[in-house]
Amino acid sequence: MAKQILVVGSVAIDDIETPAGHRSDSLGGSATYFSTGASFFAPIRLVAVVGSDFDAAELDDLRSRGVDLEGLEQVPGKTFRWAGRYGADFGDAETLDTQLNVFEDFDPKIPESYRETPLVFLANIHPELQGRVLDAFEGHRPELIGADTMNFWITGQRDALLKVLSRIDLLVINETEAHMLSGKKNIYDAADAIRAMGPKILVIKRGAYGALLFHPDGLFVAPSVPLRKLADPTGAGDTFASGLMGYLATCDTLNFEAFKRGVLAGTVLASFACEGFSFDRVKTLTRVDFDERMMQLRALISVD
């Protein structure tokens, strides 16, 4: 039986432009992507807020995937909104607009039933909110605390973010963010500087070029799954983290080997996220699809 994972992060309505097309008012948010992906592996508890404009049918879909929504509040007002654009290389998103809306005054209440959740993931959201969720675990620290963030918070809320980093075990960020956070150009220097801020385990995602895992027991490098056609990379980072944390939730021992296999699970799940707009592809994903692509990835990286 997989361990439970609690996630806090955004539940959003996105406007997305990619070289493959444009979609308005589409479901998004770091916690939504994370919950959908991680629910392939483990039971999820979601802490977030949505406004009165949020479509209840989307919540039913999450519930049907085994996502516990007791920690999700619906309040009067507008749901978080984000607009982003991807260039011809489908690389880092350019943020066109961020409207925090109901997240401006959100004070997360952690239901009593969530307080002993063994794995916690602080998906991309205001670092003060991430910190407040950790406060609820004072006295009974989770087995593993992971987190994500982005340029918006690295530049805008650095002090709050540094406090969060000092309290976590695992950080999952992309390469541009790693350079921005550390101020270092060389990837080893950047990793050393970030790990000195708190998280002893660091995953640096490099988009189409894969991911690096810096762990106290060594370095692991995974390629991405090469895709012939991409539609929309939105949520790929959150989905990657969901595969990593979800896989770890199925492990008794969280050692270097488990993290390596978790990075491969994240890589496989993220590849599906890029193949459709919003959640289109991930929502239709089956266990067989996942296992086949994992075999394909393992074949691509195995040598005698």
Does position 82 bind ligand AMP by CB under 6 A? yes
Q: Which is nearer to ligand AMP, 136 or 270 (CB)?
A: 270
Distance separating alpha carbons of residues 43 and 22, to the nearest angstrom: 32
Least separation in angstroms between CB 85 and ligand AMP: 12
Q: Which of 15, 73, 98, 131: binder of ligand AMP (CB under 6 A)?
A: 98
Return the residue of 3, 4, 8, 29 that touches ligand AMP, per CB under 6 A.
Answer: 29
**Residue carrying the six token digits 């361990």:** 3
Q: Binding to ligand AMP (CB under 6 A): which residues in 238-277? A: 238
- Please count the residues of this chain forming the interface with ligand AMP, following the rule CB under 6 A: 17
Strands of the chain, DSSP E = 5-8, 12-18, 21-28, 44-50, 67-68, 72-74, 80-85, 94-99, 119-122, 144-147, 170-174, 201-205, 211-215, 218-222
SS3 (DSSP) at 74: strand
Q: How far is Cα of residue 93 from the mean position of the Cα atoms in its chain? A: 15
Report angle CA 223, 233, 242 to the nearest 5 degrees: 70
Task: State which of positions 212-241 bind ligand AMP (CB under 6 A).
Answer: 234-238
Q: Which is nearer to ligand AMP, 117 or 124 (CB)?
A: 124
Tokens of 133: 């969720």
CB of 27 to ligand AMP, least distance (A): 8
**Beta pairing class for 144-147 and 119-122:** parallel
Q: At closest approach, how far in Å is the CB of 33 from ligand AMP?
A: 6
Helices 30-38 and 56-64, packing angle to 10 deg: 30
What's the count of helices (H) and strands (E) in the chain, helices before strands?
Answer: 11, 14
- Cα dihedral 210, 213, 218, 222, rounded to 10, equals -20
Q: Specify the stretch interacting with ligand AMP by CB under 6 A; choose among 8-16, 60-68, 127-135, 177-185.
A: 8-16
Task: Pick from 6, 7, 18, 28 the residue near ligand AMP by CB under 6 A.
Answer: 28
Round to whole Å and give the CA distance between 238 and 29: 9
Nearer to ligand AMP, 32 or 74 (CB): 32
- Angle at 145 (CA atoms; ends 180, 250), nearest 5 degrees: 120
Q: How far is the CB of 186 from ligand AMP (least distance, A)?
A: 24
**Shortest Cβ 142–ligand AMP spacing (Å):** 21
Q: What is the DSSP letter of 233?
A: -
User: Which residue has its beta carbon closest to ligand AMP?
Assistant: 28
Using CB under 6 A, which of 7, 12, 42, 178 touches ligand AMP? Answer: 12
The stretch near ligand AMP (CB under 6 A) out of 28-36, 43-51, 70-78, 282-290 is 28-36
Q: Which is nearer to ligand AMP, 127 or 199 (CB)?
A: 127
The residue (of 18 and 117) whose beta carbon lies closer to ligand AMP is 18
Q: Which residues sit at the interface with ligand AMP, rule CB under 6 A? A: 10, 12, 14, 28-30, 82, 98, 124-125, 150, 152, 234-238
